[in-house]
Amino acid sequence: MRKPLVLNILAAAGIAASALAMSAGRYRDPACVRIPPPSSPVDVDFTAFHGIMRDVKFTAFLRAPGDFRGQRVRLCGVALQAEDAKGRRHYGVKVFDAAGCCPLFIVEYLPAGTNAVPEEGAEIVVDGTVHTPGPGAFCPVAVSNAVARPL
């Protein structure tokens, strides 16, 4: 009985190592270490947290976005773009976990004015005000009046 268990554990470890190795080539976690401090004040700077603390803060943000409503936040991750069934364009930032292999969540951002939108796949930092768009929204959490800049 022990042999299959050991093989299963080794197989699971091999799959996890493979996934990490594959993702390492495709995505480099910005880790937010080379981002200068924000030029304007923010209430919650997610770029200031690293490792597990960042994962914990993001999880709290996702579970209770209403607690952050109206606050200025700063996020970093990978730029996304999508078009819905009505032809409306949506912009998002995919935030990864501390290992840089697994997305924690996607936050939609609404560009402020004529703000240029970074190209899809670029590492970006987003500053903006949190609001919760409501049922049927593209994402459960959105950042409005956002400024998104490539890293």
* Domain CATH number, residue 82: 2.40.50.140
Range among 16-25, 88-97, 140-149 rated most confident = 88-97
In a domain, 11, yes or no: no
Q: What angle do CA 27, 83, 145 make, to 5 degrees?
A: 80
pLDDT at 140: 65
In a domain, 76, yes or no: yes
In a domain, 67, yes or no: yes
In a domain, 66, yes or no: yes
What phi and psi, each to the nearest 5 degrees, are found at residue 129? Answer: -105, 130
pLDDT at 43: 93
In a domain, 16, yes or no: no
In a domain, 142, yes or no: yes
Specify the number of domains making up the chain.
Answer: 1
For 117-135, b/e burial (b = at least 16 CB within 10 A) is: ebeeeebbbbbbbbbeeee
pLDDT at 24: 41
Q: Model pTM greater than 0.75?
A: no
DSSP annotation of 65: G
In a domain, 1, yes or no: no
In a domain, 14, yes or no: no
pLDDT at 33: 56
User: What is the average per-residue pLDDT within 22-28?
Assistant: 41
| Beta strands 72-83 and 44-45, pairing class | parallel
Determine the structural domain holding residue 124 and report its residue range: 28-150
